[in-house]
């Protein structure tokens, strides 16, 4: 037993430990991918450089959902002049904050608090644990043949629920058109029936007008649609039912401003992630939408971090975290009752440190009529902006509430400048026409629509496909 033999044993031990460590790392990476394994993963690089991990499962969402970079890098098409908004009602300093330990999600009392976020330890909930690999220690003087390292126990399968393979994002709106059938009855059958009948008398025009108003198009859009239809019919080119359909389609699509930039500003900047803030009143589908969006982004190969800034209800953060675990996104959450602005700040800071591509911040549901809660939302945004720019502020609206959704949108737009609207529950309403009104009255494009509770029931809003579904 000489020195050479001892050195040989030591080298063997070091090699075994290194192999075990490498295997554990590879395993932890694999467990982070909850979507279908792809044949060619871009993280399989040998040069040690950090590259984008492609979790797309073999396809890109690009042609289905449109993502872009916020700020200077975004290619935005000129939007119509937004409705003039009054100055924000809340002055910057001394923003009142609701009592955070209120059990209900609609606390009544508001206590003024300082502007700065409370520095709190964020609770970072990663979807999987990365095994800690200890530095191998070389025994000083091995007495005898060292015991070979025990083979590591095979890792148990991750407990996180596995989702089915994600449905391809391309053409989702067209595939989900059946879900809009209630709206379909409202506009399509009735208006087309009248238009197709040939010469229209004033009663018929009035009936068309009523139908459009009933479908929640709003008076502005309805008047324009009627005027444009009259023009089309006056040309004498509309002779058949098919012509009538084509004319109505083109007028409705025109009213939906297909030129608006509907890309979601979720692509990272050179040195920092994109930040998307999700807001809305209670129960409209904010968390579900955040989860569905994370799913599409992960499928597009993006590293996503979720910020659970709904601290009123622990269940809300749990719900978001579950989405995170399902799609392979880390969740940053605070303690129940923590300052939501602080949690949002921590989430964005963690996202920057970890070099993720996008941070999606889910906020608590708040009634637009509660000024304290609206102030709190303003504070969440301002506090994030101390760290980085907020690229996208998505307002989630429940399409089934019709008119009231518009009221909500106007108040939210005053507090946080909205950049896009997500219209959920379009599968459960005959009022699909609300899309026209929201855009007309807010000047903010509807970017996404929710057409069901399923994980893949989120679709990019496409005016042409939407109108086709209505007719």
Ligand X SMILES: Nc1nc2c(ncn2[C@@H]2O[C@H](COP(=O)(O)OP(=O)(O)OP(=O)(O)O)[C@@H](O)[C@H]2O)c(=O)[nH]1
Among 211, 287, 311, 419, binds ligand X (CB under 6 A): 287
How crowded is residue 364: how many other Cβ atoms within 10 Å of its Cβ? 27
Among 218, 405, 452, 460, binds ligand X (CB under 6 A): 452
**Comparison of 268 and 452: residue with beta carbon closer to ligand X:** 452
* Nearest Cα residue to 288 out of 408, 384, 173, 425: 425
Closer by beta carbon to ligand X, 301 or else 340: 340
Nearer to ligand X by Cβ, of 191 and 409: the residue is 409
Residue 94, burial from CB neighbour count under 10 angstroms (0-12, 13-18, 19+)? exposed
Region of 106-114, 385-393, 425-433, 438-446 interacting with ligand X (CB under 6 A): 425-433
Largest CA distance in the chain: 109
Residue 365 is assigned to a ligand binding site: yes
Per-residue contact track with ligand X, 99 to 128, x per CB under 6 A?
A: ------x-----------------------
Instruction: Please give the distance of CA 230 from its chain centroid, rounded to a whole number.
Output: 40
The answer to whether the Cα torsion of 244, 248, 251, 254 is positive or negative is negative
Site string for ligand X, 54-73 (x = CB under 6 A): --------------------
How many other β-carbons are positioned within 10 Å of the β-carbon of residue 301?
20
> 362 labelled as ligand-binding?
yes
Residue 415: exposure state from Cβ atoms within 10 A (0-12, 13-18, ≥19): buried
Instruction: Decide if residue 98 touches ligand X (CB under 6 A).
Output: no
Is 288 annotated in a binding site? The answer is no
Beta strands in 123-235 (DSSP E): 123-125
Q: Which stretch binds ligand X (CB under 6 A): 39-47, 91-99, 159-167, 278-286?
A: 278-286
Distance CA 329, CA 413 (A): 29
Which residue number places its CB atom closest to ligand X? 365
Return the number of the residue (222 or 461) whose C-beta is nearest ligand X: 461
Cβ distance to ligand X smaller for residue 186 or 458: 458
Query: Which is nearest to 432 in space by CA: 285, 215, 213?
Result: 215
Q: How much is the CA Rg of the chain, to the nearest whole Å?
A: 27
Is 282 annotated in a binding site? The answer is yes
Task: Tell me whether residue 351 or residue 452 sits nearer to ligand X (CB atom).
Answer: 452
Kindly state whether residue 428 participates in binding ligand X, applying the rule CB under 6 A.
yes
Which x/- pattern, by CB under 6 A, does the window 356-385 give for ligand X? ---------x--------------------
424 is in an annotated binding site: yes
80 binds ligand X (CB under 6 A): no
Q: 425 — alpha (psi -120 to 50), left (phi > 0) or beta? A: left
Q: Which of residues 308-327 bind ligand X (CB under 6 A)?
A: 310, 316
427 binds ligand X (CB under 6 A): yes
Distance of alpha carbon 440 from alpha carbon 461, whole angstroms: 15
Shortest distance, CB of residue 366 to ligand X, whole angstroms? 8
Check the annotation: does 274 bind a ligand. Answer: no
| Contact yes or no for 111/96 (Cβ under 8 A) | yes
CB 351 within 8 A of CB 305: yes
Query: Cα separation of 294 and 278, whole Å?
Result: 12
Cβ-based nearer residue to ligand X, 268 or 432: 432
Strand partners, 275: 359
How near is the Cβ of 262 to ligand X at its closest, in Å?
17
* Other C-beta atoms lying within 10 Å of the C-beta of residue 24: 16
How many residues belong to the chain?
471
Of 66, 74, 204, 282, the residue at the interface with ligand X (CB under 6 A) is: 282
Q: List residues binding ligand X (CB under 6 A).
A: 105, 280, 282-288, 310, 316, 365, 424-425, 427-428, 450-453, 457
Question: Which residues are annotated binding-site positions for GTP?
Answer: 280-287, 362-366, 424-427
Question: Which residues are annotated binding-site positions?
Answer: 280-287, 362-366, 424-427
């Amino acid at each position: 037993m000489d020195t050479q033999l001892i050195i040989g044993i030591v080298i063997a031990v070091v090699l075994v430990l290194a192999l075990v460590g490498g295997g554990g790392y590879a395993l932890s990476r694999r467990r982070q991918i909850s979507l279908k394994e792809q044949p060619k993963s871009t993280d399989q690089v040998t040069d040690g450089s950090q590259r984008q991990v492609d979790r797309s499962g073999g396809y890109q969402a690009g042609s289905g959902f449109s993502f872009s970079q916020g700020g200077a890098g975004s290619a935005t098409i000129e939007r119509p002049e937004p409705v003039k908004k009054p100055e924000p009602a809340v002055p910057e300093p001394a923003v009142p904050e609701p009592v955070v330990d209120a059990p209900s999600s609609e606390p009544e009392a508001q206590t003024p608090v300082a502007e700065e976020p409370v520095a709190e330890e964020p609770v970072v909930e990663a979807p999987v644990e990365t095994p800690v690999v200890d530095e191998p220690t070389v025994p000083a003087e091995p007495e005898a043949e060292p015991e070979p390292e025990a083979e590591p126990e095979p890792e148990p399968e991750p407990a996180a629920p596995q989702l089915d393979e994600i449905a391809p994002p391309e053409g989702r709106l067209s595939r989900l058109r059946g879900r809009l059938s209630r709206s379909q009855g409202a506009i399509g059958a009735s208006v087309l029936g009248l238009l197709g009948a040939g010469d229209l008398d004033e009663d018929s025009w009035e009936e068309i007008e009523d139908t459009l108003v009933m479908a929640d198009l709003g008076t502005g859009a309805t008047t324009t649609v009627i005027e444009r239809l009259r023009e089309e019919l006056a040309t004498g080119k509309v002779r058949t039912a098919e012509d009538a359909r084509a004319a109505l389609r083109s007028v409705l699509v025109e009213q939906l401003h297909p030129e608006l930039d509907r890309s979601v500003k979720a692509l990272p900047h050179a040195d920092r992630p994109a930040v998307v803030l999700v807001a809305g009143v209670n129960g409209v589908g904010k968390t579900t939408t955040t989860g569905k969006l994370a799913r599409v982004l992960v499928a597009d190969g993006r590293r996503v971090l979720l910020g659970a800034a709904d601290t009123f209800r622990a269940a809300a953060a749990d719900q978001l975290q579950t989405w995170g675990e399902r799609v392979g996104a880390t969740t940053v959450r605070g303690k129940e009752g923590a300052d939501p602005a602080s949690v949002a700040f921590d989430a964005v800071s963690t996202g920057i440190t970890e070099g993720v591509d996008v941070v999606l911040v889910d906020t608590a549901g708040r009634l637009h009529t509660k000024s304290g809660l609206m102030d709190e939302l303003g504070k969440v945004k301002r506090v994030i902006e101390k760290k980085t720019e907020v690229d996208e502020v998505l307002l989630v609206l429940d399409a089934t509430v019709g008119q009231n959704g518009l009221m909500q949108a106007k108040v939210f737009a005053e507090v946080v400048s909205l950049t896009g609207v997500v219209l959920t529950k379009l599968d459960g309403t005959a009022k699909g026409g609300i899309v026209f009104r929201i855009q007309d009255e807010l000047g903010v494009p509807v970017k996404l629509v929710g057409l069901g509770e399923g994980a893949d029931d989120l679709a990019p809003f496409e005016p042409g496909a939407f109108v086709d579904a209505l007719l």
